[in-house]
C-alpha cells in the first residue's frame, strides 16, 4: 500500500519498508521457558530486549522500572523547599502551563495537589492566538501586579532566559518544570527541573510535562505528608496518563508504568470531566486504553487550546460538578468538530504549497496568512506522515510568523532550529516536533538555512517510512489466546508500539467498503487450508476497487467484540501485492 498525495495535479507516493525483526536465539528461547509452548510470544519478548523470564514478567506486570528517588531530579530539593515556604507563608502561587493536553493536565495536577495543603494557588494558561507558546513578559507583569510571589512553569520555560530574568526583576521566584530539549544556557530560576539535563542521576529521561509535575507533587508529599483523609497525589495519575499519551511520551520504562496505573484509575474512578468527555465522544462499552486517549480524549481536550482558550479544558478536568462537566464536554465536542474541518482544509492547502517545488525536496514549507496557528501543527503532522519529509507549516501575521514543525527519525528538528536561533524570536521542542516564532522579514533567510541544513543531514539518504514487523506468521497461528495475550504489551503507543505481524501470500476472499461514507475497508483473508480471518483498514475504503487477489499483509492482532461475540480481527497497517 502506498500513500498518495494529490497536489497541483501531481501524484507523489511513499511506500513503506518492512523491517522484519531477527529471529530469537535458541539461548533466549530456552531462558524464556515459561512460554516454551508459545514461540510467537517468546519472539515478541525478544524483540523488546526481554531475554530472561524475570525481565519478561516485570514487563507484563508493568514493574519494569521501579521509580527512583525523586530527589535525584535536578534542582528538586531547592524546588520543594521553596514550595514548602510558599505554603507556610501563604504566598500567592501561580501554575503557568502550556495550552496543550500535557500542559493543561500538568497545571490541573499541581493546582489540585497544592490545594490539599491549603495553598493560595491559581492557574495561568496563555492563549495560543494572543500570547503564543511559553512564558511571556506581559503575562509575568500581570501576575506580579496581582501579588504573585512564586510562578511554577509546567511543560514550558526551559528556554525562557529573558522571561526568567524579567520574573526576577518583578520580585517573583520561578520554578521551571519542563521536559523539552535544553539549550546551552539554563534560565536563572530557583530550580530548573528537566529530565533532559545531563547533570542528574534520575534514570527516566523521557517524562512528559505532566509526569514531571507529578514528580514534583510526589517530592512535596514526601517532604510534607498529607493526612490520610485527603486525596494523595496518586489519585492524580489519571491526569498523568492523559497528558503523557496525548503528548507522545514514550510508553516505556517508568512512563509505561505511570500510564498503566493512570488508565486503571480512569476505568475504575473516572473524574467527572473525563466521564462527560467519553459520553460526548460517544464512547461506549470497552475499557479506556491509550488509543482512547490518543484518538478521542486527547484531540477534544486539545481543541480548546487550538481554537479558543485552554482554560475550558482545565476547568473540565478539575470540576467535580457533573452538570458543569457535561456543559464543558459538549463545548469541547463542538470545537473538535470545527478543528477537524479546519485541519482537512489547511492540510490540503499546505500540501499543495509544500509540494509545488517538486517531490524531490528534502524539507517542506507552507505559510499563509489564512492558516490558523492552532491547526498548523496538525497540518504539518499530516503532511509529514504522507510525504515522509520534515515539514514546517506556519501562519503569517502582520508582525510575526508562528508555526509548527514535524519531522522524521533522520532529522532532529529542534537541533536544526538551534542552528537558526539568530533568526527566531522563540522556539522549542523535541527531536520530531517543535514550535517556532520569527519576524516576517526573516522567513526567506530561515527557509534557505533550513534547506541547507536538510541538504547536509539528509542528502544521499533514501527517505522512506519503516514499518517494524515483529514476526512473520501463518493465519492459522492467530488464535484467540494469542489475541488475548496482546494485553501483555499494553499500554501501547509511541515508544512501545503494538506488536506487528506479517503474513505472506494471503488470499483476499472478499473485500468491501464500510462506514457511513464507505471510508473504511473490510476484508476476509485466508491461507490455503485455513479458515478465513476478518481484517479492517480504517480510512482506506478507496482501495476496495484496486485490491489484488493475493497480498502480503502487515497487521496488529486484536479481539473484536460485537453483540456479545468475540472474534480474532486483523487491523491492517500495510499491504503489498504478494511477493
- Say if residue 497 is in the same domain as residue 559: yes
pLDDT of residue 350: 96
Q: How far apart are CA 140 and CA 36, in angstroms?
A: 61
pLDDT of residue 516: 80
In a domain, 261, yes or no: no
- Say if residue 443 is in the same domain as residue 481: no
Q: How many domains does the chain have?
A: 3
In a domain, 427, yes or no: yes
Question: Between the CA of residue 35 and those of 25, 415, 429, 566, what are the distances in Å?
Answer: 14, 44, 41, 24
Distant-in-sequence, close-in-space partners of 156: CB < 8 Å, separation ≥ 6: 96, 97, 98, 103, 133, 134, 135, 178, 180, 209, 428
Half-sphere exposure of 495 (CA within 13 A, CB side): 19
Domain boundary among 231, 261, 277: 231
Three-state SS at 366? strand
What DSSP letter does each residue of 373-418 carry, written as one string? Answer: TTTHHHHHHHHHHHH-S-EEEEEE-SS-EEEEEE--TT--HHHHHH
Domain boundary among 198, 213, 231: 231
Domain boundary among 214, 231, 248: 231
Which range marks the domain in which residue 78 is found? 70-231
- Say if residue 172 is in the same domain as residue 34: no
Q: How far apart are CA 453 and CA 416, in angstroms?
A: 7
Can you point out the beta strands (E) in 74-221? 92-97, 120-124, 148-154, 173-177, 191-193
Q: What is the pTM of this model?
A: 0.89
In a domain, 291, yes or no: no
- Say if residue 421 is in the same domain as residue 568: no
Beta 533-537 vs 520-526: how paired, if at all?
A: antiparallel
CATH number at 539 reads 2.40.50.460
Q: Which residues pair with 543 in a beta bridge?
A: none
pLDDT of residue 7: 38
pLDDT of residue 3: 39
DSSP structural state of residue 493? B
In a domain, 145, yes or no: yes
CA 120 to chain centre: 31
- Say if residue 438 is in the same domain as residue 518: no
CATH number at 206 reads 3.90.1640.30
Count, residues in the chain: 579
Do the Cβ atoms of 369 and 395 come closer than 8 Å? yes
Per-residue model confidence as pLDDT tens for the chain (579 residues): 333 444 333 334 578 999 999 999 999 999 999 999 999 999 999 999 999 999 999 999 987 666 689 999 999 999 999 999 999 999 999 999 999 999 999 999 999 999 999 999 999 999 988 888 889 999 999 999 999 999 999 999 999 999 999 999 999 999 999 999 999 999 999 999 999 999 999 999 999 999 999 999 999 999 999 999 999 999 999 999 999 999 999 999 999 999 999 999 999 999 999 999 999 998 876 799 999 999 999 999 999 999 989 999 999 999 999 999 999 999 999 999 999 999 999 999 999 999 888 878 999 999 999 999 999 999 999 999 989 999 999 999 999 999 999 999 999 999 999 999 999 998 988 899 999 999 999 999 999 999 999 999 999 999 999 999 999 999 999 999 999 999 999 999 999 999 999 999 999 999 999 988 898 999 999 998 788 999 999 989 989 999 999 999 999 999 987 766 788 999 999 999 998
Question: Between the CA of residue 434 and those of 247, 249, 394, 416, 430, what are the distances in Å?
Answer: 12, 14, 12, 10, 6
pLDDT of residue 133: 83
In a domain, 191, yes or no: yes
Cell 492523559 sits on residue:
242
- Say if residue 97 is in the same domain as residue 211: yes
Three-state SS at 570? strand
Cell 461514507 sits on residue:
517
CATH number at 414 reads 3.10.310.30
- Say if residue 440 is in the same domain as residue 536: no
Question: Between the CA of residue 396 and those of 382, 403, 547, what are the distances in Å?
Answer: 20, 9, 42
- Say if residue 399 is in the same domain as residue 511: no
Half-sphere exposure of 39 (CA within 13 A, CB side): 9
Three-state SS at 212? helix
pLDDT of residue 358: 84
Three cell numbers at 318?
478539575
Q: How far apart are CA 214 and CA 207, in angstroms?
A: 10
Beta 533-537 vs 565-577: how paired, if at all?
A: parallel
CB atoms within 10 A of CB 254: 20
Distant-in-sequence, close-in-space partners of 387: CB < 8 Å, separation ≥ 6: 5, 12, 14, 351, 354, 355, 359, 364
- Say if residue 142 is in the same domain as residue 216: yes
CB atoms within 10 A of CB 527: 18
CA torsion angle 378 383 388 391 (round to 10): -70
Angle in degrees, CA 490, 494, 499, rounded to 5: 50
Do the Cβ atoms of 177 and 106 come closer than 8 Å? yes
Q: Report which secondary-structure segment, H or E, holds 241.
A: helix 237-246
User: Which alpha helices (DSSP H) does 247-321 contain, by range?
Assistant: 253-268, 272-280, 290-292, 298-307, 311-318
pLDDT of residue 420: 97
In a domain, 270, yes or no: no
Amino acid at each position: 500500500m502506498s500513500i498518495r498525495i494529490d497536489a497541483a495535479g501531481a501524484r507523489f507516493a511513499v511506500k513503506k519498508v518492512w523491517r522484519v525483526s531477527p529471529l530469537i536465539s535458541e539461548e533466549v528461547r530456552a531462558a524464556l521457558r515459561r512460554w516454551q509452548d508459545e514461540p510467537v510470544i517468546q519472539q515478541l519478548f525478544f524483540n523488546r530486549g526481554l531475554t530472561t523470564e524475570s525481565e519478561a514478567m516485570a514487563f507484563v506486570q508493568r514493574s519494569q522500572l521501579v521509580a527512583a528517588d525523586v530527589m535525584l531530579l535536578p534542582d528538586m530539593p531547592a524546588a520543594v523547599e521553596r514550595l514548602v515556604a510558599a505554603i507556610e507563608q501563604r504566598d500567592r502561587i501561580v501554575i503557568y502551563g502550556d495550552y496543550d493536553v500535557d500542559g493543561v493536565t500538568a497545571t490541573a495536577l499541581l493546582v489540585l495537589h497544592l490545594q490539599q495543603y491549603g495553598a493560595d494557588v491559581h492557574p495561568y494558561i496563555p492563549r495560543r492566538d494572543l500570547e503564543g507558546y511559553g512564558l511571556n513578559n506581559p503575562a509575568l507583569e500581570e501576575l506580579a501586579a496581582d501579588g504573585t510571589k512564586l510562578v511554577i512553569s509546567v511543560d514550558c520555560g526551559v528556554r525562557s532566559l529573558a522571561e526568567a530574568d524579567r520574573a526576577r526583576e518583578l520580585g517573583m521566584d520561578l520554578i521551571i518544570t519542563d521536559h523539552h530539549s535544553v539549550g546551552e544556557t539554563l534560565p536563572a530560576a530557583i530550580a530548573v527541573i528537566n529530565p533532559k539535563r545531563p547533570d542528574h542521576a534520575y534514570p527516566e529521561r523521557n517524562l512528559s510535562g505532566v509526569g514531571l509535575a507529578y514528580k514534583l507533587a510526589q517530592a512535596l508529599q514526601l517532604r510534607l505528608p498529607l493526612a490520610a483523609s485527603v486525596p494523595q497525589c496518586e489519585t492524580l495519575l489519571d491526569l498523568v496518563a492523559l497528558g503523557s499519551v496525548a503528548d507522545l511520551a514514550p510508553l516505556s520504562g517508568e512512563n509505561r508504568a505511570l500510564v498503566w496505573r493512570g488508565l486503571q484509575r480512569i476505568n475504575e474512578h473516572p473524574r467527572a470531566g473525563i466521564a462527560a468527555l467519553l459520553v460526548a465522544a460517544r464512547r461506549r462499552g470497552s475499557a479506556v486504553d491509550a488509543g482512547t486517549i490518543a484518538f478521542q480524549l486527547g484531540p477534544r481536550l486539545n481543541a480548546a487550546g487550538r481554537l479558543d482558550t485552554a482554560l475550558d479544558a482545565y476547568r473540565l478536568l478539575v470540576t467535580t460538578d457533573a452538570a458543569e462537566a457535561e456543559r464543558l464536554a459538549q463545548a469541547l465536542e463542538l470545537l473538535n468538530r470545527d478543528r477537524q474541518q479546519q485541519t482537512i482544509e489547511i492540510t490540503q492547502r499546505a500540501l499543495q504549497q509544500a509540494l509545488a517545488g517538486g517531490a524531490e525536496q528534502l524539507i517542506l514549507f507552507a505559510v499563509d496568512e489564512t492558516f490558523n496557528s492552532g491547526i498548523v501543527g496538525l497540518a504539518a503532522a499530516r503532511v509529514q506522515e504522507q510525504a515522509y519529509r520534515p515539514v514546517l507549516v506556519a501562519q503569517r501575521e502582520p508582525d510575526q510568523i508562528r508555526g509548527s514543525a514535524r519531522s522524521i527519525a533522520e532529522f532532529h528538528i529542534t537541533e536544526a532550529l538551534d542552528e537558526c536561533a539568530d533568526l527566531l524570536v522563540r522556539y522549542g521542542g523535541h527531536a520530531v516536533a517543535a514550535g517556532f516564532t520569527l519576524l516576517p522579514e526573516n522567513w526567506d533567510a530561515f527557509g534557505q538555512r533550513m534547506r541547507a541544513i536538510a541538504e547536509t543531514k539528509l542528502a544521499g539518504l533514501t527517505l522512506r517510512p519503516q514499518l517494524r514487523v515483529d514476526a512473520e506468521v501463518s493465519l492459522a497461528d492467530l488464535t484467540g489466546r494469542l489475541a488475548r495475550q496482546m494485553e501483555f504489551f499494553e499500554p501501547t503507543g509511541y515508544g512501545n508500539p503494538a506488536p506487528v505481524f506479517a503474513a505472506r501470500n494471503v488470499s483476499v476472499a472478499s473485500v468491501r467498503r464500510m462506514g457511513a461514507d464507505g471510508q473504511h475497508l473490510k476484508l476476509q483473508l485466508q491461507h490455503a487450508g485455513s479458515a478465513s480471518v476478518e481484517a479492517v483498514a480504517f480510512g482506506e475504503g478507496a482501495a476496495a476497487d484496486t485490491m489484488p487477489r493475493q497480498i502480503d499483509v502487515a497487521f496488529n492482532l486484536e479481539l473484536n467484540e460485537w453483540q456479545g461475540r468475540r472474534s480474532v480481527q486483523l487491523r491492517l497497517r500495510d499491504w503489498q501485492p504478494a511477493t
